[in-house]
Structure 1
């Protein structure tokens, strides 16, 4: 059971002060009957709540894909620097939303934001081996032989042994002396992709995550923008 004022606040109907006024003014009804107190208890799955005659649909979990830009922190808040939560407009921003995993400040691309802690844990749990795919621009000419090293599990410079990973060499720029690659990993060590190429004696110049489990970054979703997940994407997440 849930208080009707908390239900309305959770559904972003308004501030608590605004909801109290709406309730006093008789704008809130439960199962067709106006309520005068926000303390009235409801079952969100059974009871129908209306605001000014319009049904307020209950939604427990929220999911968004953010195309994180470079220079923005993957955090819920920070006193000095801009965070991914500041990319949300006020209608979508909720205090219980959090980023699943992290992309470092200089990495861009797909980031999942949700308030579903169970899904977040499942996506990050080593037991589930959820793949993450990155596109990277790397110094030097990366040979096909590097793919075999990735597949066998690289050892980083500090001795950390990694799980097998995928590497596709996409394009070499003779002018820039750089290689565009696609990397698939199933774990999330600190700065892992950058350190993997460091183990090969090269440096990552640009890094962008394009896939995370069943989710894929939209071609048209610009850096700094976000969208809600589709019903199909939510089902795919829940079936992991």
Structure 2
């Protein structure tokens, strides 16, 4: 008899034996589940058995990973699997699914003797969604914004030995801006009075009033700009 024929016969036997048994569930033609214990029993658990193609000549696959077993510690699950594997070794080569289910039923108290409620990080959301709580996420700290070396150097130049900015640290920049604005206003006023502007700068390309020229230089007006303004003002006087 081939393995497939053995499986077909065992499948028919399981359906006949567990017909009407709410604890038994056929997940597929070669996969089955059985609940050991009633609903509400703190020591109840689910076991899954599936057949490889070569079963029963090879061992079936036994699993305790059902969500129903979420409150059972990994150590208890492993102990149950170890006991069931002992039964598998003793029955290798024969149909054993019924034997394994019945062994678990008969030895439920012994298998779950050391069971204590186990808190898992997996929680149920709604009817059929599972969420896994990330415990490590609560330990994560917000990273502070890192300054570049140039930003740190600029900040150090502006601060004192206590790391504080000195009083009036930005006044120089404000004064520079006000000075440029003032010179612009003076230039606009002088160009509106051509004769006064020509007398101040001179009608030639030289600048007799070096003090006046120095002021315009600080405002950003070089020889080219001043010559242009002078010629424009001079032409207006003609």
Normalised-by-shorter TM-score class: under 0.3
Higher normalized contact order (CA 8 Å, seq sep 6+, divided by chain length): 1
TM-score (norm 2): 0.18
Greater CA radius of gyration, 1 or 2?
Answer: 2
Bigger helix fraction: 2
TM-score normalised by length of structure 1: 0.18
